[in-house]
Structure 1
């Protein structure tokens, strides 16, 4: 099949952001499909292409598939109006590509949900079937956080209705996201969660710690976006409590976002000597940092909808790295941390309780045997349930079922 894969925020593992679409595109290409990945320029992403843009576009082969990249910068640190403009510019360029070439299937991976626009255009004007992948449910999450306005949420609701009702199938990253797809009229829904890259992250990776960190002290690492949705002020409050208790633990925040300047200023005001900020790291460098860490940190703002409507990449990275996890989430994440037959893989605390978060971190810092047991259970859970290679095979099966062979005109 000829597959057009639309993901505005695509990155290879050389970048500092999620690599799910890279893994899925590689798996499709390995099964003999001709895949074109269409993307923009996401902050922290590395597409694998080199050289300049010609008329705002460049393309070339990357890891067995074709990548088309447009010079459309986008990132979490940008104001909402500029990001919205980038979303619409990408949708326009992707729409032209969807209609300019022959495709058997379009895969539209959100966020942003505007990625559904070119898929809908190809379906309506050319009869090309499409899969719609929900990685973050819009407008459910923006509405829950009060981001945007009722007219914008109404428009996003109608777009979600159109995408879910007309897609051959909807792929959701969690059961909660599947429920939102069902509410928008999806007929066929498959839950295919984020997976663990067991080759990139794992116990065999050589550990690394950046200069300036205690060489023998314990590290708790948060690696991800630093925006309003992440609620990282809670980590600063917990760090202050740990510092007052003289806990031998340093918190490392890796990433950037709209909240980064405010967080840095507040950390300085609080005089936090046990907290460090690092710029976003390429995935391979992050894997080395996690190999040298003791605890993985998962944090989100105390929004009730987050309990079932999120599927953080970083949580999968921690499990693959064999780290015990401390999270301020209920719902799906808390159930995951409860573990299975090999025991719990972490500790879940209340969403807005810095004292409970500090206590959980301090308890793990004081108990190396418990940390090791949770870390072993985390890696075992990653291998048994969240292996990305197994999830990619299922993704390929869904794509192949979505586009039965179509007759082609014979050339004279």
Structure 2
């Protein structure tokens, strides 16, 4: 089957960031499909050289559209529109038996439908965030007209999708509740155990060469430092940890449009380069070393209803590296980790209480060892990439079948 894969954010492992599209594209190729990825440019410098025209057998077309979290929302809206136009034009020149498009942004549905109509192909649409509710919650879509346009785009996109893939149970339930006729399948993010197989050894080597780290307990935040992520919480947490677990440190491995603010707040609080360290993002292999060096990892989000129940990439990388996760938000994933003993919930409004809870974990080697085993078990039982790809592949094949008989996939 000839598959056109639309994603504005395609990242190969050396680039770092979320690699779900890469992992699925390479497995589609291995399953015998002809895959063409139409994507935008990665952040400057992240590719480490020339952009590859092929990734694991999939052709990759890099449209000349840059978009990353360091941009303001207006610039990003412009980039969304430019990508939609470029992908529609290029996709109409690439024969396709199926078009798969993944958000965000939801505007990716526009070129997906245009390309699908050109080739009389079905459309499978993947929803990673609930748009337009998310930008509305952040105040990016303020006028009634903009909000109406956002919801009109959402209705249009779901109506034209033959199948919909949702990344979380909350997203799946929201779409099913509001659009009863939609065919929705839950395919959550995955843990790549093979990528993190030697994380412990890599972590030990990293600790040996980073004198400031040594044998200190380390909490790792690896990901975007943007408006939705609420990483300023970690500044307050680091200040509290200085009282309750003086040897512990927090590492923020990433960049984004709030990184400078986080650095300034950390300096003002007196924790920058003392027990909170800002480091630049790295590729997946180097990230494995940081995860392997961590005692546990941290995932933070701002307190908005549309973000509760999210499933950030960093959580799945942590599970693949056999590291427990501390999260300051609720929802299905946090509930699953806490119930399994693979994580803990941090009160979002009380960093001092969070620091006390973390100090208890850090002082208990047996609990940490059990939590690592639990993290590995959760990764294997619920989030093996190969098993999730099989579910995803079934959705695509059913969408392309002459007589479509797809049934929604079960919840976790």
C-alpha deviations, 1:283-340, integer Å up to 9, x for none? 11011111111011010011133222x2111100111111111111111132121244
Deviation at 1:204, TM superposition (A): 5.3
Match 1:122 to one of 85, 104, 115:
115
1:86 aligns with 2:79: yes
Deviation at 1:69, TM superposition (A): 0.5
What are the residue-to-residue correspondences of 1:48-87 with 2, within 5 Å? 50=50, 60-87=53-80
Residue 181 of structure 1 aligns to a residue in which SS? helix
2:408 matched residue in structure 1: none
2:257 matched residue in structure 1: 258
Deviation at 1:70, TM superposition (A): 1.4
Residue 308 of structure 2 aligns to a residue in which SS? helix
Question: How far apart in 2 are the matches of 1:102 and 1:223?
Answer: 38
Deviation at 1:198, TM superposition (A): 0.6
Match 1:396 to one of 387, 393, 396:
393
1:195 matched residue in structure 2: 190
Match 1:354 to one of 351, 356, 365:
351
Deviation at 1:374, TM superposition (A): 0.5
Is the alpha carbon distance of 1:3 and 1:198 closer, same or farther for their aligned partners in structure 2, counting shifts above 3 Å? same
What are the residue-to-residue correspondences of 1:234-245 with 2, within 5 Å? 234-245=233-244
Deviation at 1:212, TM superposition (A): 4.5
Deviation at 1:147, TM superposition (A): 2.6
1:37 matched residue in structure 2: 37
Residue 141 of structure 1 aligns to a residue in which SS? helix
Between 150-159 and 189-198, report the one with greater CA deviation: 150-159
What are the residue-to-residue correspondences of 1:7-406 with 2, within 5 Å? 7-43=7-43, 50=50, 60-150=53-143, 151-182=145-176, 183-184=178-179, 187-202=182-197, 205-207=201-203, 208-209=206-207, 211-272=210-271, 273-308=274-309, 310-340=310-340, 344-404=341-401
C-alpha deviations, 1:38-88, integer Å up to 9, x for none? 11113279669826xxxxxxx722211110001211110111111111111
Gaps of 5+ in 2: 404-412
Question: How far apart in 2 are the matches of 1:64 and 1:249?
Answer: 44
Is the alpha carbon distance of 1:30 and 1:193 closer, same or farther for their aligned partners in structure 2, counting shifts above 3 Å? same
Contact 2:34 2:58 in 1 (8 A): yes
Contact 2:96 2:119 in 1 (8 A): no
Deviation at 1:10, TM superposition (A): 0.4
Deviation at 1:157, TM superposition (A): 1.3
Question: How far apart in 2 are the matches of 1:28 and 1:173?
Answer: 18
Question: How far apart in 1 are the matches of 2:219 and 2:245?
Answer: 15
1:55 matched residue in structure 2: none
Residue 133 of structure 1 aligns to a residue in which SS? strand
Gaps of 5+ in 1: 52-58, 407-412
Question: How far apart in 2 are the matches of 1:204 and 1:94?
Answer: 41
Question: How far apart in 1 are the matches of 2:7 and 2:201?
Answer: 29
C-alpha deviations, 1:173-227, integer Å up to 9, x for none? 1111112322245521100000100101245552124634221111100001111
Between 17-26 and 203-212, report the one with greater CA deviation: 203-212
Residue 107 of structure 1 aligns to a residue in which SS? strand
Question: How far apart in 2 are the matches of 1:47 and 1:170?
Answer: 30
Deviation at 1:383, TM superposition (A): 1.3
Question: How far apart in 1 are the matches of 2:111 and 2:64?
Answer: 18
Question: How far apart in 1 are the matches of 2:201 and 2:211?
Answer: 21
Deviation at 1:405, TM superposition (A): 5.8
Please give the TM-score of this superposition, normalised by the length of structure 1.
0.91
C-alpha deviations, 1:10-53, integer Å up to 9, x for none? 001111210000011111111111000111113279669826xx
Residue 13 of structure 2 aligns to a residue in which SS? coil
C-alpha deviations, 1:208-265, integer Å up to 9, x for none? 2463422111110000111111111111111111113352201000101111111101
Question: How far apart in 2 are the matches of 1:15 and 1:44?
Answer: 10
Deviation at 1:386, TM superposition (A): 0.7
Please give the TM-score of this superposition, normalised by the length of structure 2.
0.91
Is the alpha carbon distance of 1:247 and 1:333 closer, same or farther for their aligned partners in structure 2, counting shifts above 3 Å? farther
Question: How far apart in 1 are the matches of 2:16 and 2:56?
Answer: 18
Contact 2:6 2:38 in 1 (8 A): yes
C-alpha deviations, 1:123-158, integer Å up to 9, x for none? 445432110000111112222232322333322211
Is the alpha carbon distance of 1:353 and 1:43 closer, same or farther for their aligned partners in structure 2, counting shifts above 3 Å? farther
